[in-house]
Structure 1
Amino acid sequence: MNASRLTSWRILLTPYYLNLYARQAHVLRVAAAFWVGLALNLLFTIPHGSWMLVTILIVLGSVPHWGGVRRKALQRMGGSLLGAAAGLVAMALYRHSPLSCYAWMTALVMLSAWFALGKGEYLALLVGLTMVIVAGLGNEPVEAALWRGFNVLAGSLLGLAAAGLFPLRAIDSWRFLLADNLREAAALYSKIARRREVDAGVALERFNGRLIRMRALVAAAVQESGLPAARFDAIQRRQRSLCSLLDRMGEVAQATPALSDGAEQRRAIVRVLMRAAHGMRFNQPALLAEPLDAALSPLALDKPSYCHWLAAEFNLASEHLRADLAELLPLLMQVPPPSRGILLLVWHWLSSASQGRSR
């Protein structure tokens, strides 16, 4: 095997390519986890093994990012453990009195329904669901209940392992979308300021589309990074501010040359936004270190126009965004990635095999 052909394995370890082919990677890891679970069932004839496969699909099927998968798997395991314990209690009560068993199950179902409307909705729902699955009507054999609990735990662990093999992280997707928005804002501002022909509505629609997708990633990004949601929300607000300013600029730029008067200021803003985009995409905080000089106050002009105020406000919004990102990016870079040990072992093994054959 030629060593140069092994470079394709690096795609599986690179966040950019994993996000570029996110759907393919997601399908691949679901299939890999399913096949491992299927093989375990076929090799060892695990009783009630279908619950392992069901759990794999529940944990991995609709959640692409590591933060969401980890949260769902942990809630699945926690809910399954508590629910299985509650089911065993119900079965023990049934042997004493069926009425006490059903009273216990009713109380647990009510508690599950109550807390299912709160923050731990999935965990609470699984407690009640697993209890009913394990206990049935109270007369289920204990062995079957234990095997069901084991299969749910095994399926959750397989889902976590598969998510770690192909780690689609929400913080990486969030970074890449942000980088695209920064580049979009820089290009659109440059064209508007120079009064070039541009369809600002289409560009801003793309910008807002990314912003909506970023908003959906915040919860998983918080889970992965451990950072407060307020940090991500602040970046979202900064972007909305840029979008609003660009929209207003596009409406009035053709009526006045004020935006194109300050070529030096325009180039400085574009440079800062483009450097910030590159820094966020490739994890280079040094590109975010250079501050943007304050714009000339429109009050210093003899006849300041609306565009002068817009340009000064856009300069200030760009600088605030750069400063926030300069603080956030080093924190994101400190977040340890999910385990990639198996892929790294495969990569080293294939590299060693290739070097051995070349000798």
Structure 2
Amino acid sequence: MLLGRLRDPFINHRHRRLFHVLRVSLALAITFAIIQVLPFEHSGWALVSTAMVMGNLPHIGGVLDKGRQRLAGTILGATLGLALIMLHLPPWGIYLGALLGIAACTWVVFPGRQAYSGLMFSVSLLLVIGDGNQAFSVALWRATDVLLGTLVGIAATVLFLPQKATDLMRFMLADCLDGMAQLYHAHTSATSAPDLDTRNLLKSTSRLLVKQRGLSDAIHREGRLNRTDVDELISYQRRMLSTIELLLETHWTTREGHSCINAMKGLREQQHTLARGLGTLALKVRTGQSIDFSITPFVLQPFAELAMSARGKDERVLFSPSGYLWLNRELARLAIATAERLGRLERLPSKRLHNRAQRRGLLRTTPYDNKEGNQDGNSPH
């Protein structure tokens, strides 16, 4: 029963820092036990490797990617180092061979995503050759220690209360969509909660976007989403957030623009419908459901004549109502595109997450299902 609760993705997400500390501690304890029981020489390198491969990466995808690069770099670097030692070259010959190997490796990994693998190639090679007079057995033991520590770190991450980067992406995506729903709902409702700090919420939502981008490689390594999927989702979120920020930060310069927007009957209802759509989308992502619903498009035709005919006291045409309507339509268009993109990701929904959400009673309506919506016609502008 306790193990089942600990495997709950919602609990895992909420306590991911604690679980990561436990994983690192367990991995180091296992590595220490192995080097105490078995006659490993230079065994301190095994502990160092365990700590380095886990590092500050709590999720499976990150450790698998880093571990794979570490294993590849270690094996190739150690192999070259052992080969140089077996050739019985003088110290300067070993150093020259190592220098050429590191230069070639640096050239190869420079334009790609394998920089850590290149680093481990260099570290392993230099570790194996030592001062150029390294005994073959010492070099072999050091390479073995690095491999042992790396494998223990990977195993501990995968087997002990594993945390997936894909799950973290789901929660961050849901939180970002929910934050945008709150921001947009506050913007369009004069009766929104007075304690909602839109500026801080905007900053925290922006930080979620930055964190999602950092998960791209780890998610790709887990095999459910690829880098293109993640990049497209982040792009949609970034553009929606920028549009909402424009709505929040734009100040109309004339009273006539205010009055024109307030006179658009049905505008607030469409805005609240869009806010509810964003909230529903966030709920479905957070609870692992299939994205099988459509967000209602924003219809501008009923307001076109009023917007185009709006004029100021000097009889000049007012452009602010048209611009305001365009921003709302653009936000709705991006929300629709995001929902459609999510709906095409067959491997994004999670039965495990959905089942846990049902047990927790999380499959409820979105908090934006009210219909208060500025019935008095007051605009935040």
- Normalised by the length of structure 2, the TM-score is 0.78
What pairs up with 1:173-184 in 2 under 5 angstroms?
173-184=168-179
What pairs up with 1:82-93 in 2 under 5 angstroms?
82-93=76-87
In the TM superposition, structure 1's runs of 4+ consecutive aligned residues that sit over 6 Å from their partners are 334-337
1:46-86 deviation digits (Å, cap 9, x = unpaired): 21111110100110122222212111111111111111211
CA pair 52-314 structure 1, distance change in 2 beyond 3 A? same
Structure 1 partner of 2:318 = none
Structure 2 partner of 1:101 = 94
Report the residue type matching 1:194 in the other structure: S
Report the residue type matching 1:317 in the other structure: L
Tell me, what secondary structure is at the counterpart of 1:177?
Answer: helix
What is the distance in 2 between the residues matched to 1:223 and 1:15? 19
1:300-341 deviation digits (Å, cap 9, x = unpaired): 63212233323222222211111111122x22348999xxxx
Structure 2 partner of 1:14 = 8
1:36 deviates by 0.4
Structure 2 partner of 1:240 = 238
What is the distance in 2 between the residues matched to 1:259 and 1:100? 82
Q: Is the 2:166–2:224 Cα contact (8 Å) retained in structure 1?
A: no
Q: Is the 1:258–1:308 Cα contact (8 Å) retained in structure 2?
A: no
Structure 2 partner of 1:310 = 327
1:231-285 deviation digits (Å, cap 9, x = unpaired): 2122112112221222222235893426883344234323321221111111101
Report whether the alignment pairs 1:294 with 2:293: no
Structure 2 partner of 1:203 = 201
Structure 2 partner of 1:273 = 278
What is the distance in 2 between the residues matched to 1:181 and 1:18? 19
Tell me, what secondary structure is at the counterpart of 1:161?
Answer: helix
1:155-206 deviation digits (Å, cap 9, x = unpaired): 1110011111232222211110111121122222222212345543222122
C-alpha RMSD of matched pairs (Å): 2.6
What is the distance in 1 between the residues matched to 2:275 and 2:165? 27
What is the distance in 2 between the residues matched to 1:97 and 1:215? 48
Tell me, what secondary structure is at the counterpart of 1:168?
Answer: coil
Q: Is the 2:181–2:279 Cα contact (8 Å) retained in structure 1?
A: yes
Q: Is the 2:289–2:349 Cα contact (8 Å) retained in structure 1?
A: no
What pairs up with 1:121-136 in 2 under 5 angstroms?
121-136=115-130
Equivalent residues, number: 327
What is the distance in 1 between the residues matched to 2:87 and 2:93? 6
Aligned with residue 108 of structure 2, among 112, 115, 130:
115
Structure 1 partner of 2:184 = 189
Aligned with residue 63 of structure 2, among 65, 69, 75:
69
Tell me, what secondary structure is at the counterpart of 1:47?
Answer: coil
What is the distance in 2 between the residues matched to 1:13 and 1:170? 15
Q: Is the 1:93–1:100 Cα contact (8 Å) retained in structure 2?
A: no
Q: Is the 1:73–1:156 Cα contact (8 Å) retained in structure 2?
A: yes
1:27 deviates by 0.7
What is the distance in 1 between the residues matched to 2:41 and 2:301? 76
1:75-112 deviation digits (Å, cap 9, x = unpaired): 11111111121111111222x55554343223213223
Structure 2 partner of 1:172 = 167
1:198-218 deviation digits (Å, cap 9, x = unpaired): 543222122112112212222
Aligned with residue 215 of structure 2, among 205, 214, 217:
217
Identity %: 27
Structure 2 partner of 1:143 = 137
Q: Is the 1:175–1:280 Cα contact (8 Å) retained in structure 2?
A: yes
CA pair 259-105 structure 1, distance change in 2 beyond 3 A? farther
Structure 1 partner of 2:153 = 159
Tell me, what secondary structure is at the counterpart of 1:301?
Answer: helix
Q: Is the 2:299–2:329 Cα contact (8 Å) retained in structure 1?
A: yes
What is the distance in 1 between the residues matched to 2:186 and 2:27? 49
Range with bigger deviation, 174-183 or 132-141 = 132-141
1:288-310 deviation digits (Å, cap 9, x = unpaired): 21212322234763212233323
Tell me, what secondary structure is at the counterpart of 1:303?
Answer: helix
Q: Is the 1:195–1:260 Cα contact (8 Å) retained in structure 2?
A: no
1:129 deviates by 1.9
Q: Is the 1:194–1:260 Cα contact (8 Å) retained in structure 2?
A: no
Aligned with residue 283 of structure 1, among 279, 283, 288:
288
Structure 2 partner of 1:257 = 262
- Normalised by the length of structure 1, the TM-score is 0.82
Tell me, what secondary structure is at the counterpart of 1:302?
Answer: helix
Structure 2 partner of 1:344 = none
CA pair 47-194 structure 1, distance change in 2 beyond 3 A? same
CA pair 317-54 structure 1, distance change in 2 beyond 3 A? same
1:121-142 deviation digits (Å, cap 9, x = unpaired): 2212222221221122343222
CA pair 103-84 structure 1, distance change in 2 beyond 3 A? same
